[in-house]
Chain A
Amino acid sequence: MLLELKVNGRLVRREVEPRTLLVDLLRDELALTGTKVGCDTSQCGACTVLLDGHAVKSCNMLALQAQGRELLTVEGLSQRVPEPLREEGLHPLQAAFWNEDGLQCGYCTPGMILAACDLLQDNPDPSDDEVRHGIEGNICRCTGYQPIVLAVQKAAGTLREAGIDPLGRKRGEAGR
Chain B
Amino acid sequence: MIPAAFRYERPGTLEEALRYLAEPEAKALAGGQSLLPLLRLRMAEPGLLVDIQDIAELAGIQSGAREVTLGALVRHVDLATSGPWRVLREAAEATGDRQVRRLGTIGGAVAHADPAGDLPAALLALGAVVEIVGPGGRREVPIGEFFLGPLMTVLGPDELVAALRLPLPGSGSGSSYRKLRQAASGFALVGVGAMVRLEAGRCVDAGIGVTGVGLAPYAAETAREKLIGTVLSAADVELALAAILEGADVQGDPYASSEYRGKMCRVLAAEAIAGARAEAQGE
16 additional A-B residue pairs with CB within 8 Å, beyond A18-B6, A54-B77, A65-B51: A1-B8, A19-B39, A41-B40, A41-B41, A51-B102, A55-B99, A56-B99, A62-B29, A62-B32, A64-B51, A65-B32, A115-B99, A118-B98, A119-B98, A136-B97, A136-B98
The answer to whether A60 and B33 touch across the interface, beta carbons within 8 angstroms, is yes
Q: Does B229 contact A (CB under 8 A)?
A: no
* A33 on interface, CB distance cutoff 8 Å: no
What per-residue 1/0 map shows which CB atoms of A1-45 lie under 8 Å from chain B?
100000000000000011101001000000000000000111101
Which residues of B are found within 8 Å of A137, using beta-carbon distances? 96-100
Instruction: Give chain B nearest CB distance to A121 CB in angstroms.
Output: 11
Complex contact A19–B100 (CB within 8 A): no
Q: Please, which residues of chain A bring their CB within 8 A of the CB of B39?
A: 19
Once bound together, how far apart are the Cα atoms of A57 and B99, in whole Å?
Answer: 6
- Please tell me if the beta carbons of A64 and B99 are within 8 angstroms of each other in the complex: no
Q: Considering only CB atoms, which chain B residue lies closest to A47 in the complex?
A: B99
- Asked if B37 and A64 sit within 8 Å, CB to CB, the answer is no
B2 contacts A19, C-beta separation under 8 Å: yes
B62 interface residue per 8 A CB criterion = no
Chain A, interface residues (CB within 8 Å), range: 20 to 34
Complex CA distance for A118 and B101, rounded to whole angstroms? 12
A-B contacts, 10 listed (Cβ < 8 Å): A19-B3, A19-B39, A41-B37, A56-B102, A57-B100, A59-B40, A60-B36, A62-B32, A62-B49, A118-B99
Query: B168 at the A/B interface (Cβ < 8 Å)?
Result: no
Least CB separation from B4: chain A residue: A19
Could you say which residues of chain B place their CB within 8 Å of the CB of A115? Answer: 98-99
- Chain A residues whose CB sits within 8 angstroms of the CB of B97 once the complex forms: 45, 136-138
- What chain A residues lie within 8 Å of B8 (beta carbons)? 1, 18, 62, 64
Whether the Cβ atoms of A60 and B98 lie closer than 8 Å is: no
Q: Which of A59, A65, A118, A134: most chain B CB closer than 10 A?
A: A65
Taking the nearest CB of chain A, how far is it from the CB of B122, in angstroms? Answer: 19
Whole-angstrom CA separation of A35 from B20 in the bound complex: 34
User: What does the 1/0 interface line of B52-82 toward A look like (CB < 8 Å)?
Assistant: 0100000000000000000000000100000
Q: Is A67 an interface residue (CB 8 A)?
A: yes
The docked-state distance in angstroms from the alpha carbon of A40 to that of B185 is 14
Find chain B residues with CB under 8 A from A136 CB. Answer: 97-98, 186
Contact B36 A61 (CB under 8 A): yes
Shortest C-beta distance, B181 to chain A (Å), equals 10
Distance between Cα atoms of A62 and B32 in the complex (Å)? 9
B6 near A60 (CB under 8 angstroms)? no
Q: Which residues of A43-87 are within 8 A (CB) of B?
A: 43, 45, 48, 51, 54-57, 59-62, 64-65, 67
By CB atoms of chain B within 10 A, which of A18, A48, A51, A59 has the most? A18
B112 at the interface (CB under 8 A from A): no
A134 to B80, CA, bound (A): 14
| Shortest Cβ gap from B161 to chain A (Å) | 19
Of A56, A115, A118, A138, chain B has the most CB atoms within 10 Å of the CB of: A56
Shortest B62–chain A CB gap in Å is 22
Query: Which B residue sits closest to A19, measured CB to CB?
Result: B3
**A67 CA to B12 CA, complexed, in Å:** 14
Complexed CA–CA distance, A50 and B40 (Å): 22
A159 to B4: give the CA distance in the assembly, Å.
44
Say yes or no for B5: interface residue by CB 8 A criterion.
yes
Report whether B103 and A40 are in contact in the complex, using a CB–CB cutoff of 8 Å: no
Name the 5 nearest CB pairs between A and B, nearest first.
Answer: A137-B97, A18-B8, A19-B3, A60-B36, A57-B99
Tell me whether A55 and B102 are in contact in the complex, defined as CB-CB below 8 angstroms, given that A19-B3, A60-B36, A64-B8 are known contacts.
Answer: yes
Minimum Cβ distance to chain B for residue A109 (Å): 16
**In chain A, residues 127-154, which have Cβ atoms closer than 8 Å to a Cβ of chain B?**
134-138
> Mask for B20-55, Cβ within 8 A of A = 1, else 0?
000000000100110011011100000001010100
How far does the alpha carbon of A54 sit from the alpha carbon of B100 in the complex, in Å?
11
Q: How far, in whole Å, are A2 and B120 apart by their CA atoms in the complex?
A: 37
Neighbour of B36 across the interface among A42, A43, A64, A119, CB < 8 A: A42
* B179 vs chain A, min Cβ distance (A): 13
| B contact residues around A135 at 8 Å (CB) | 98
